[in-house]
Chain A
Amino acid sequence: MADPATAAAVAASAAEKGGSGGLPQFDVSQWPGQMVWILIIFGVLYLLFSRVFVPAVGGTINAREDKISGDIGDARRARDAANAELAAAAGELEAARARAQRVAAEAQAQAKAAAVERQAQEEAKLAQALTAAEARIASARADAMAHVREIAVETAQAMIARLTGTQADRAEVERALTAAPAS
């Protein structure tokens, strides 16, 4: 506190107030200069703040918020797109499975139909063979029956020849056989 200016001011102020040591703040002669200066300084600072600092800081904060919300929006959109693709892939998988099942079912049905058809063909073939066999049997029987008459004629001729010693006429024997009632 050895500053000469301060000491002088103390002395002057003390002298003014008669050495009572009152508050120097109430020395009104110092007021106008301080009041005008603080208002000027405030005005300059206010201009700086309203034109430069507040827009700069506020703009930076807004830009950051915009960027963050934009990034969150991007991320959300990307997630939605991924979810949509996932759903599409699941749908495709489902469709593919359904198609495979359909193909399998068709193949099964075709195989069954083919089997039935083949069975039917076989049965038809068998039936044909059966019919043919029956026809053959019938013709064989007819043949046999025809031969029975011949055998009967020959047997009758032979019996007649042995019994009577004469050769019986074939046509007469046949006539007699036909006339005889079938026993």
Chain B
Amino acid sequence: MRLDVVLRVGSKLILPFMLLFALYVQFHGEYGPGGGFQAGVISAGMMILYALVFGVAKAKLIVPQRLVEFMVPLGVLIYAGTGVLTMLLGQNFLDYGVLDPSPMHGRERGIFWVEVGVHVTVASTMLAIFYAFVERGR
């Protein structure tokens, strides 16, 4: 057993709560501080902590390089797709009001998907930068 047992057990305890907190920040964005960007950073932070403690090889088993490179554009696509959807429904770009019979709920729904897109792109971009830096040392 290696000497970093405290670190590994400790981080294993923290990791699920980090993800949970990321999701809290994500879905609580309308009511308090937070939103897709912060949540994306926190969930990427979780993966980075995992990679620091258990090694990049193991981290890449969970989130492979290809998945990261796929998620960066995917997030933008979700964001822009929301806007295009509102256009297909006959309104201007990003006019979320049409997404629900009640315009207020429509806007809530629209901003929800936009924030999901932001989360995906921010998290994967953070991770891509982290992977790029780690790869350099090899």
Please say whether chains A and B are actual partners in one complex. Answer: no
